[in-house]
Amino acid sequence: MRRAIPAVFVTLGGLVLLASFHTAAGGKPRSITAPTRSSTPAAGTGPAPSGTTVPTTSGAAIGSRQIDGPVVPTQFGDVQVRVIMRNGKIADVQALQMPFDRQHSLELSQAAAPILHDEVLQAQSAQIDLLSGATYTTSAYQQSLQAALDQSR
Amino acid sequence: MTVAASSSRIVVRPMWGTMIRVEMRDAVPDDAIEPLWQWFQRVDDLFSTWRDDSEISRLARGDLELTATSTEVRVVLDLCARLKSTSRGAFDTAFAAAAADPDAPGRCAIDPTGVVKGWAVDRGGELLGALGVSDVAINAGGDILVRGSTPWRVGIQHPWQRDKTAQIVALTNGAIATSGNYERGDHVVDARTGRPAVGLTAVSVIAANLALADGYATVALALGGEGMGWLATRPDVVAIGITDDRRVVKTAGFDDHVVKP
């Protein structure tokens, strides 16, 4: 997932992640300013923060916690990220919701979601000029469909 | 070997461990394309990983400095570097060599063979154009460059029924390359995992030139199950993939080339 992080930010494109973490120890309130659209004036007017603080099993004042950002609609679908913090630092950023669930699909989003048609494999035996296939050896050529076609001409 | 067809001439010669088939609709004698065979032979001299005396083998052993190599070698290695970058490491010339037994024949520490053939055929097509042979199809072991004024009908090999095609496309000026693991076994390895690529049995890529088509087909096969999704993001190519579970997957635009039988 770590490798997907740059793609996440690229996908968000016109969105600006304004994350403001109050990380001092001692039980101060912690909050995350939600991602807001870049056209929106700065903090305070964006979507209401929906961050949650999850204490770790250690129970220590300085530990791990995860903060979920709000669901942000994009042209490809909803995006939501989770920030994992350890000892006051960002340890990881995970995608909770993505328009697609795999990294390569993030790039599909960037390419304006091209369509992949899926259909049943068929076998045809129509007249052709040339045959494209996996590279055959010199000797295997004699058994190839291309050679057979040439001999029939 | 020459085959006289009704309106075209076909010349087939062994080259690069496979067969190269040149079909000409132009009214020219067979020996008009002799410079093409000389060029292909030079490519073998420079790039064959099966020959100890090729520049690529000498470079791999350290017997030849990169700066002392021919321009063609540096151009191809640059192509490989760009392909490695766009494929996020799935295509890696150094890896392709290291993954195999270094003592095995046909292996050296740099293996650019996923790119060389397409690039060399593109240059061959330009050479033929300069010689006045402009209505021509070069089929290098299943990877094809066509030039002309009327479409060439190109069949895509059916992986499991060897006397059948899976699809037929029409190409007038362009290239189609097919990578598959059905002809010589699992010879494409995903450089990210070091294991034979799985997910795709075959993939064919149509592009303006064969270097692009050949390189991308190789990368897509190495990416396996992610290969078609990756191809769908690449501009300037369309592709068809046949999955291990016998489905056909096409990128948007591929059907524009399809000819109904």
Residues of A in contact with B137 (CB under 8 A): 129-130
Phi/psi for B115 (5° steps) reads -120, -35
pLDDT at A4 over 70: no
Question: At A57, is the secondary structure helix, strand, or coil?
Answer: coil
| B149: confidence class by pLDDT, cuts 50, 70, 90 | very high
pLDDT one-digit tens code per residue, B230-240: 888 888 899 99
pLDDT at A20 over 70: no
Residue to test with chain A: of B21, B143, B228, most A Cβ within 10 A: B21
Q: Which residue of B14, B157, B226 is in closest CB contact with A132?
A: B157
| A107: confidence class by pLDDT, cuts 50, 70, 90 | very low
Q: Which residue of B3, B18, B261 is in closest CB contact with A126?
A: B261
Q: What does pLDDT average to over chain B?
A: 84
Scanning the structure block, which residue is given the tokens 């679908």?
Answer: A77
Measured CA distances, A83 to A90, A153, B29 (Å): 7, 66, 70
ipTM score of the complex? 0.84
Q: Which residue of B17, B233, B251 is in closest CB contact with A138?
A: B17
Chain B residue with minimal CA distance to A108?
B233
Q: CA torsion sign, A131 to B24 to B14 to B37?
A: negative
Per the CB < 8 Å rule, is B155 touching A141?
no
Per the CB < 8 Å rule, is B10 touching A150?
yes
Phi/psi for B241 (5° steps) reads -125, 145
Distance in angstroms (rounded) separating the CA atoms of residues B146 and B171: 7
pLDDT one-digit tens code per residue, B18-62: 899 999 998 888 788 999 999 999 999 999 888 889 998 898 888
Per the CB < 8 Å rule, is A125 touching B261?
yes
Distance in angstroms (rounded) separating the CA atoms of residues B113 and B241: 21
Distance in angstroms (rounded) separating the CA atoms of residues B165 and B126: 29
What residues contact B223, with CB distance under 8 A and at least 6 apart?
A: B87, B90, B190, B197, B199, B200, B230
pTM of the entire predicted model: 0.67
Scanning the structure block, which residue is given the tokens 């055929």?
Answer: B121
Distance in angstroms (rounded) separating the CA atoms of residues B116 and B111: 10
pLDDT of the residue at B60: 82
Nearest one of B149, B155, B209 to B25, comparing CA atoms: B149
Per the CB < 8 Å rule, is A153 touching B19?
no
Give kind and range of the element (H or E) at residue B228.
Answer: helix B227-233
Contact in structure between A82 and A96 (CB atoms under 8 Å): yes
Nearest one of B129, B9, B157, B23 to A136, comparing CA atoms: B157
How many C-beta neighbours within 10 Å does residue B45 have?
A: 14
Phi/psi for B72 (5° steps) reads -60, -40
Per the CB < 8 Å rule, is A116 touching B255?
no
Residue to test with chain A: of B2, B214, B233, B234, most A Cβ within 10 A: B233
Per the CB < 8 Å rule, is B248 touching A115?
no
